[in-house]
């Protein structure tokens, strides 16, 4: 693996300062749909790119966490001359939207202010990284759904979502129904997998929260080195 | 829809000249796996980002056509400090690879030469556009698979893949099995949908090739304005 890092990306602290300078801080309750025209940076809380099916079911395609930029795609597509109507079937304007999964503190950046700064640092590097990160997430979702078993997919999601520091808390918005929607699994399958993970001591409840007690064993399942029976 | 295009992207002719100056032209037969370390630009032919399942089935996640750059993700991820091992489960190095779907004429650009020029024009703009385009394709694939019916998904793929000029030929590599793998449908479903599209005169065979005869009606199904019974 080549480790040639070309861009010195700004720290979280510098990003926060930069975005607060070009945008304005807002508070948004849980479950709100965000305006499609602006770009956002997360100070606190979680947001998901969400679709609602004809039956009214919600599917979260991609999750965003503190320190991440989101909803930059429409601005970037416009700046690069990518049409969102021809051959794309109005994908981003009609069927997908950004919805808060928790109460959030965000920086709202107006599209014009974003476009003005997108080809200079630090935004250029931050944007390149965000695009690459989103592309990786989107491809991982597709690849996982055709290559990996249900327990592997659930464990990968948990490993990617848990708090990095001990106790490794799973975000509360990741209910069984939410995970089932995101991974296109049945809710019952997710419930059985959680049951098996708790029985093996890999997950544990602590009050209303769920913690990963054994990150090593979770990663073994995620990496397909161990099989989880459920 | 805002139409503020910020970057003047180079024409196909200028792109070709630029990439031929920094890379070298190669000929690759159909069905070849390309080296994971280099970046490529397509002069002629089609390439797919492909996964092979445990049963040996191939799934093409994303298609690339003449005038497009591909396999830039590992270089970009390295340049931005995105790890391909932690929390990404070695996605790009182990389970996904780039495979030619037809005989191809490509420009091979070594990773170092690519990295050196990625933050100056014209590569900066070309890369930004390629990242945004790939992200859109990956999200459209996920969104379609949970929001749209099988005939809508097939018609969207055909509309996005057909030759832009009349007669709108469907690329020969898009066999029923290939489409079924890409869209996670059964081959029989794809075959029935093709049969219905031919019966309605929307598709027609011409020798061994399949042409879209009625692009307007194909788009009506793709846009969910008309329903195709099959």
Per domain, the residue ranges of chain B are 12-141, 148-222
Q: How confident is the model at residue B7 (pLDDT cuts 50, 70, 90)?
A: confident
Task: Quote the pLDDT of residue B89.
Answer: 54
Give contacts of A91 with chain B, Cβ < 8 Å.
136, 139-140, 143
- Tell which A residues from 131 to 190 touch B, by Cβ distance under 8 Å: 131-136, 138-143, 145-147, 156, 159-160, 184
What was the ipTM of the complex prediction? 0.89
CA B123 to chain centre: 20
With contacts defined as CB-CB under 8 Å, which chain B residues touch A182? none
Predicted confidence at residue A2, as pLDDT, reads 47
CATH of domain B12-141: 2.60.120.10
Determine the pLDDT at residue B69: 96
Optimal mutation site among A113, A132, A158, A180, interface B, most CBs of chain B within 10 A: A132
Q: A5 versus B130: which is more confidently predicted?
A: B130
pLDDT over 50 at B1, yes or no = no
Confidence check: pLDDT of B80 > 80:
yes
**A102-141: b or e for each residue (b if 16 or more CB lie within 10 Å)?**
eebebbbbebebbbeebbeebbbbbbbbbbbbbbbbbbbb
Intrachain domains A12-138 and A148-222 with the same fold: yes
- What's the pLDDT score for residue A1? 42
Whether residues B5 and A80 touch (CB distance < 8 A) is answered with yes
What crossing angle do the helices spanning A150-161 and A176-183 adopt, rounded to 10°? 110
Average pLDDT (A114-140) is 90
d(CA A29, CA B227): 39
| Contacts for A23 with CB less than 8 Å, ≥ 6 apart | A39, A41, A107, A108, A109, A110, A113
CA distance B101 to B106: 13
| Alpha-carbon span A118 to A63, nearest angstrom | 23
Look at residue A92 and tell me whether its pLDDT is greater than 60.
no
Place of tokens 């948004």: A28
For chain B, say whether A117 makes contact (Cβ under 8 Å): no
If one compares A195 and A4, the residue with the highest pLDDT of the two is A195
Q: Identify which has the larger pLDDT, A142 or B63.
A: B63
Give which of B161, B159, B160, B181 is closest to B171, Cα–Cα.
Answer: B161
Please name which of B81, B133, B227, B29 lies closest in space to residue A7, comparing C-alpha atoms.
B81
Q: Which residues of chain A make contact with B145, given a CB cutoff of 8 A?
A: 184
Residue B164 is predicted with a pLDDT of: 87
Instruction: Using CB atoms within 10 Å of the CB of residue B85, give its burial: 0 to 12 exposed, 13 to 18 middle, 19+ buried.
Output: exposed
Query: What are the chain A neighbours of B135 within 8 Å (beta carbons)?
Result: 73, 131, 134-135, 138
Contacts of B120 (CB under 8 A, 6+ apart): none
Residue position matching structure tokens 């079924």: B180
CATH superfamily of the domain spanning A148-222: Jelly Rolls (2.60.120.10)
The mean per-residue pLDDT over the stretch B111-121 comes to 91
Banded pLDDT at A88 (limits 50, 70, 90): low
Q: What is the pLDDT of residues A149-165, one digit of tens each?
A: 999 999 999 998 999 89
Helices A176-183 and A187-199, axial angle in degrees (round to 10): 120
Could you tell me which residues come within 8 angstroms of residue A5 by beta carbon, excluding any fewer than 6 positions away? B78, B79, B80, B81
B96 has which bridge partners?
B51
Sign of CA dihedral B14, B19, B25, B30: negative
Q: How high does pLDDT run on average in chain B? A: 89
Question: Fold for domain A12-138?
Answer: Jelly Rolls (2.60.120)
Residue with tokens 């590599």: B173
| Probe site for chain B from A62, A68, A80, A154 (most B CB atoms < 10 A) | A80
pLDDT for B58: 81
Counting beta carbons within 10 angstroms of the beta carbon of residue B26, is it exposed (0 to 12), middle (13 to 18) or buried (19 or more)?
Answer: middle
Tens of pLDDT along A175-184? 999 999 999 8
């Amino acid at each position: 693996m080549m480790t040639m890092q070309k861009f010195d990306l700004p720290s979280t602290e510098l990003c926060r300062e930069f975005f607060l300078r070009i945008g304005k801080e807002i508070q948004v309750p849980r479950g709100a749909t965000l305006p499609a025209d602006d770009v956002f940076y997360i100070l606190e809380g979680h947001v998901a790119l969400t679709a609602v099916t004809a039956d009214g079911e919600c599917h979260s395609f991609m999750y965003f966490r503190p320190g991440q930029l989101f909803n930059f795609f429409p601005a970037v597509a416009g700046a690069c001359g990518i049409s969102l109507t021809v051959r794309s079937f109005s994908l981003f304007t009609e069927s997908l939207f950004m919805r808060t999964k928790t109460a959030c503190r965000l920086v709202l950046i107006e599209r014009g202010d974003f476009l003005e700064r997108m080809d200079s640092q630090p935004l250029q590097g931050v944007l390149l990284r965000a695009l690459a990160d989103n592309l990786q997430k989107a491809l991982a979702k597709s690849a996982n759904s055709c290559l990996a078993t249900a327990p592997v997919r659930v464990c990968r999601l948990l490993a990617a979502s848990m708090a990095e520091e001990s106790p490794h808390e799973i975000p509360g918005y990741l209910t069984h129904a939410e995970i089932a929607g995101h991974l296109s699994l049945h809710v019952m399958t997710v419930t059985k997998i959680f049951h098996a993970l708790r029985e093996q001591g890999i997950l544990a409840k602590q009050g209303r929260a769920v913690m990963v007690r054994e990150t090593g064993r979770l990663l073994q399942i995620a990496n397909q080195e161990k099989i989880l029976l459920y």
